Amino acid sequence: MQSEPVRESVPEESDVKATVIWQNIYEKLSQNIPEQFFSVFFNHLKAKKYVENQLFLSSDDDQVIHHIKKRYISQIEEVARAEAGENVQVEIVLDDTQENKKPIDFPGSAEKKKADTETSHQILLNPKYTFDRFIKGPSNEHAMAAAMGAAQNLNEFHNPLYIYGSVGVGKTHLMMAIGNFVLQNSPWLKIQYTPAETFQNTLFEAISKKNMSSLKARYRNVDVFLFDDIQFINERADFIQEEIFHTFNFLYQNKKQIVISGDRPPQQLSTLHDRLQSRFQSGLIVDIKPPNFETRLAILKTKAREMQLHVPQNVLEYLSARFTTQVRILEAALIKLRFVSELEKHPIDLQMTKLALRDMPNESPGQQISIDEILRTVSQTFHVNEAEIKGNSRTENIVHARHISMFLAKSLIPSMSLASIARAFGKSDHTTVLHAEKKIRDLMDMDDTLRVQIEELTNELKF
Ligand code: ADP
Ligand code: MG
């Protein structure tokens, strides 16, 4: 196969044989390729001609051709050969005949198209997410210092800056604080804040609307690129990873600041290709942990003050002790208290607090799920005894129960490091846990029964 779309002249009319083969390919592959990719790529292909063991397909979008050649050509050829014989070769050509030409862009129309896409996905920085309003504590001070360093000295030492931590610990707040700082101090610079999911959707849209140039203009014409929640990038979509890689490379080479957040360190993102990972390794990687008791207390005091809410000290302490992992939940608790207090026309006190928040999840350390509970629950469900789960047996059902236990430990006990989870299972290597987690995730993707089973185990452990 040639790597570039060929612009040679192919016979204009698609003949019957080509159409028949193409129909079969289309049907077979539609069953094997996830719908969102299939419709993006395959609906832009047409049968052209079948001559001398060559099946010509065509598309008027060279991006589509590029990705099909990269990802799907062998699957296409496999079906074509089953249909028409071992020697069949598939050629995909760029169709630039008149009827398929994209509409001519009149002056201004390109800009308009660009503006449309931009407004539909543009996410504004939340002006409240500033460094001033970020409460510093041992759990987040490195991340905060790194973010401030990046904001003050764009592209000087922390590039790319990668910030990771669990949900609700302040990653988005810090990223937007960088953006707000730059906006304030260098208003002429272009800032792009994009959750990975938005990037992905925009890319799908750009491909299907054949509007890649507007996507490139949007993501490459920036001085500060804030890329949030990279863990949501679809692992099966090579072309997304590729687009991210090229975007980062382009920005990096042009000395632009890149900041990325994720829920785990880059080397644990099983979904990321090596070259993206090594790009991150070359910058600065910092983590944010859930805040400790004092920091939680300080955050609550500040937020209460901002909300002009009088909350007695014993209530603040009660909240700090009860909600331990997510700042977001601390805020939610205050909002609920304000609501109840206004409704009942009664100042906030401890008794009201306990009653008002009785439905909120309990996160205090006393309530935390333990490895022993996980072992007990898994052992009952899978009829394997606990010692076996912790042991070294390679028997299939025992290994499966062990993987599930590690998976649950990793997802339900955020305070435990990978190394300590591994130790609790008598393993010395923390990658064992990652391996188990990935294994279960992969299985869950394919096996609904397992997914339901895991959900039930999770609920049983949590409540
Ligand atoms: P993440 O992106 O890590 O899930 P967010 O940045 O969305 O978390 O934070 C959740 C909420 O908690 C936000 O409203 C944020 O302002 C607040 N928050 C988190 N950490 C802090 C902090 N150290 N000081 C003040 N507010 C914080
Ligand atoms: Mg976030």
Q: How far is the CA of 261 from the centre of ligand 2 (A)?
A: 8
Mean per-residue pLDDT for 289-311?
93
Q: Which ligand is located closest to the Cα atom of residue 325?
A: 1
Q: Which residue's CA is minimally distant from atom 13 of ligand 1?
A: 328
On the question of pLDDT at 113 being above 70, the answer is: no
Q: Exposed/middle/buried for 330, CB within 10 Å: 0-12, 13-18, 19+?
A: buried
pLDDT band for position 408 (50/70/90)?
very high
Q: How far is the CA of 129 from the centre of ligand 1 (A)?
A: 8
Quickly count helices (H) and strands (E) in the chain. 21, 8
Mean per-residue pLDDT for 88-113?
54
- Residues 6 or more apart whose Cβ sits within 8 Å of residue 264: 164, 231
Q: How far is the CA of 173 from the centre of ligand 1 (A)?
A: 5
> pLDDT by residue (tens digit) across 318-340?
999 888 888 888 998 999 999 99
Q: Which residue's CA is minimally distant from atom 19 of ligand 1?
A: 170
Q: What is the DSSP letter of 158?
A: -
Strands 161-164 and 284-287: parallel
Q: How far is the CA of 122 from the centre of ligand 2 (A)?
A: 16
**Residue among 327, 334, 335 whose CB has most ligand 1 atoms within 8 A, to mutate:** 327
The pLDDT score that the predictor gives to residue 145 is: 97
Task: Record the tokens describing residue 407, joined without a space.
Answer: 């998976």
279 against 406, higher pLDDT:
406
**Residue among 173, 227, 263, 323 whose CB has most ligand 1 atoms within 8 A, to mutate:** 173
DSSP letter string, 343-398: HHT----HHHHHHHTTTSPP--GGG---HHHHHHHHHHHHT--HHHHHS----HHH
- Residues 6 or more apart whose Cβ sits within 8 Å of residue 35: none
Q: Which ligand is located closest to the Cα atom of residue 228?
A: 2
Atom of ligand 1 nearest to the CA of 173: 6
> pLDDT by residue (tens digit) across 123-161?
688 888 999 999 999 999 999 999 999 999 998 878 999
Peptide bond into 160 cis (omega under 30): yes
Atom of ligand 1 nearest to the CA of 140: 23
> pLDDT by residue (tens digit) across 254-292?
999 999 999 988 888 766 677 777 778 788 999 999 998
Q: How far is the CA of 366 from the centre of ligand 2 (A)?
A: 27
Q: Which residue's CA is minimally distant from atom 25 of ligand 1?
A: 134
37 against 95, higher pLDDT:
95
Buried b (16+ CB within 10 A) or exposed e, 372-394: eebbebbbeebebebebbbeeee
- Asked which of 7-11, 133-137, 140-144, 363-367 is least confident by mean pLDDT, the reply is 7-11
Q: Which ligand is located closest to the Cα atom of residue 163?
A: 1
Buried b (16+ CB within 10 A) or exposed e, 422-447: bebbebeebebbbebbebbeebbeee
Q: Which long-range contacts (CB under 8 A, 24 or more apart) does 390-398 make?
A: 390/424, 390/425, 390/426, 391/426, 392/426
* CA separation for the pair 102, 95 (Å, rounded): 11
Residues in contact with ligand 1 (CB, 6 Å cut-off): 129, 133-135, 140, 165, 167-173, 299, 327-328, 331
Those residues whose beta carbon sits under 5 angstroms from the ion ligand 2 are 171-172
